[in-house]
């Protein structure tokens, strides 16, 4: 990796990219007095964008079990979904990964961007929309840059606090007036600020949708352990009582058979549904490298591009971020080299799945995608 380069203007940057043609291009999210200095100490730190990375890679999606594969490096055996601890054929623990994208995982990351912007940045942090810069990463996620002065000047501890707030990490549920008073359990009011009110609202929204929804939410939580059937039934049989309590802004949520421990687990499941699923490591790093806007992502050939927030709803990465016109006549000849090349939609056409050794004439965007994914070679 070549680092510590400073360009006097955009023209020099473009010339550098044309002559070197790097597979991946990044810039620093930090502002320095001397960006070209060789060591971090010499650069003279000024400030840093607050960067939020939302990537389907960090979010559990069911589609990855269908379109991701692990290939044993020793014997070539192929495993669908998560990589196993060891190969069942030869016991090797080394694998090559084929990690794919589809509409489902791209939609999951888009939904998380809406959650972050609507429910946290605009509503709770009151950040002006014009200070929120949104980029498609070129692969399966988005970068959100906050350029508000107050955010640029934050140190690492403050960035950690904000990230923890957004992800609902690092605090005790007991600080929100959750306690036992004689036989009464004090929950939260929907009028409470911050997380307490969010939890009350989320529980209410699930309860009013009825029994099947309650079962779905608590039997298949996004993360961690599910609630057992007896406990879910306790919630269901007290459904109307809890709806009345919450809608009347009463904090007493007394349900027989639900212990403190169970309530905490219920709150955790609700928290994981409410939080913005961001990659915290990126947000707290004061020296982060971020993909360069306008460059192509080396694992897809798609454009890293700025998106207006109002255009996000209709943004289709598999169509709008293609680098070349969606032209069926402009083709490349390639050969599949991986044991499997899963199905991919490019533009409005589905391609594949393909098998090893298949020789194909494919439109440029599609061929480029397969080459960048390292599942094919030029013929
Ligand atoms: Zn093997
Ligand atoms: Zn997917």
pLDDT per residue as tens digits for the range 20-41 = 999 999 999 999 999 999 888 8
SS3 of the chain: helix, strand, coil, percent, to 5: 40, 20, 40
Does residue 316 carry a pLDDT above 90? yes
**267 burial class (0-12, 13-18, 19+ CB within 10 angstroms)?**
buried
Which CA distances in Å does 204 have to 97, 201, 255, 267, 342? 42, 5, 15, 12, 41
Reported as a single tens digit per residue, the pLDDT across 187-199 is: 888 888 889 899 9
Give me the residue spans of the domains in the chain. 10-54+114-168+278-317, 173-274, 326-379
pLDDT of 187 reads 81
- The two three-digit tokens of residue 122, written as one number: 């605009």
Ligand that comes closest to the CA of residue 70: 1
pLDDT class of 181 with cuts at 50, 70, 90: low
Percent of residues, the chain, with pLDDT higher than 90: 79
Does residue 224 carry a pLDDT above 90? no
The Å distance, Cα 89 to ligand 1 centre, comes to: 5
The Å distance, Cα 245 to ligand 2 centre, comes to: 40
Query: pTM to 2 decimals?
Result: 0.91
The Å distance, Cα 344 to ligand 2 centre, comes to: 10
Ligand that comes closest to the CA of residue 342: 2
Ligand that comes closest to the CA of residue 59: 2
Percent of residues, the chain, with pLDDT higher than 70: 97
pLDDT of 185 reads 74
CATH class of domain segment(s) 10-54+114-168+278-317: alpha beta
Mean pLDDT of 269-276: 95
Does residue 373 carry a pLDDT above 90? yes
Ligand that comes closest to the CA of residue 63: 2
Q: Give the least confident one: 121-135, 174-188, 221-235, 322-336.
A: 174-188
Ligand that comes closest to the CA of residue 99: 2
Mean pLDDT of 344-352: 94
pLDDT of 328 reads 84
Does residue 176 carry a pLDDT above 60? no
Ligand that comes closest to the CA of residue 74: 1
Residue carrying structure tokens 């005790």: 172
Fold category of 326-379 in CATH: Ribosomal Protein L9; domain 1 (3.40.5)
The Å distance, Cα 163 to ligand 2 centre, comes to: 26
Question: Which is more confident, 161 or 250?
Answer: 161
Other beta carbons within 10 Å of 39: 7
Does residue 257 carry a pLDDT above 90? no
pLDDT class of 183 with cuts at 50, 70, 90: low
Ligand that comes closest to the CA of residue 90: 1
Are the CB atoms for 258 and 231 separated by under 8 Å? Answer: yes
The Å distance, Cα 90 to ligand 1 centre, comes to: 4
CB-hemisphere CA count at 13 Å for 267? 26
DSSP-derived letter for residue 359 is E
Reported as a single tens digit per residue, the pLDDT across 297-315 is: 999 999 999 999 999 999 9
């Amino acid at each position: 990796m070549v680092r510590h380069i400073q360009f006097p203007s955009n023209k020099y940057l473009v010339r550098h990219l044309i002559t070197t043609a790097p597979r991946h291009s990044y810039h620093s999210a930090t502002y320095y007095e001397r960006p070209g200095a060789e060591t971090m100490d010499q650069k003279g730190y000024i400030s840093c964008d607050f960067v939020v990375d939302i990537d389907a890679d960090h979010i559990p999606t069911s589609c990855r079990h269908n379109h991701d594969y692990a290939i044993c490096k020793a014997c070539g055996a192929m495993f669908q979904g998560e990589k196993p601890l060891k190969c069942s054929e030869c016991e090797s623990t080394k694998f090559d990964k084929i990690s794919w994208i589809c509409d489902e995982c791209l939609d999951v990351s888009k939904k998380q961007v809406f959650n972050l912007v609507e429910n946290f940045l605009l509503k709770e942090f009151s950040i002006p929309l014009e200070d929120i810069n949104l980029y498609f990463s070129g692969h399966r996620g988005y970068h959100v840059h906050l350029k508000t002065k107050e955010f640029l000047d934050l140190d690492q501890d403050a960035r950690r606090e904000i990230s923890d707030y957004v992800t609902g990490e690092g605090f005790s549920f007991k600080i929100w007036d959750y306690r036992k008073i004689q036989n009464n359990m004090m929950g939260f009011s929907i009028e409470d600020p911050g997380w307490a009110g969010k939890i009350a609202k989320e529980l209410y929204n699930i309860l009013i949708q009825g029994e099947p929804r309650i079962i779905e939410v608590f039997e298949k939580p996004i993360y961690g352990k599910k609630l057992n059937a007896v406990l879910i039934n306790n919630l269901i049989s007290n459904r109307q009582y809890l709806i009345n309590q919450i809608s009347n802004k009463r904090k007493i949520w007394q349900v027989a058979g639900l212990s403190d421990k169970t309530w905490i687990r219920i709150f955790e499941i609700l928290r994981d549904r409410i939080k913005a699923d961001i990659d915290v490591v990126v947000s707290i790093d004061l020296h982060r490298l971020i993909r360069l806007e306008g460059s192509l992502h080396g694992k897809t050939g798609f454009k890293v591009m700025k998106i207006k927030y109002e255009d996000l709803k209709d943004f289709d990465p598999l169509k709008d971020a293609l680098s070349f016109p969606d032209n069926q006549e402009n083709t490349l000849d390639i050969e599949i080299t991986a044991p499997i090349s899963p199905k991919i939609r490019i533009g409005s056409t589905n391609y594949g799945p393909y098998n090893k050794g298949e020789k194909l004439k494919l439109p440029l965007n599609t061929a480029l995608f397969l080459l960048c994914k390292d599942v094919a070679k030029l013929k």
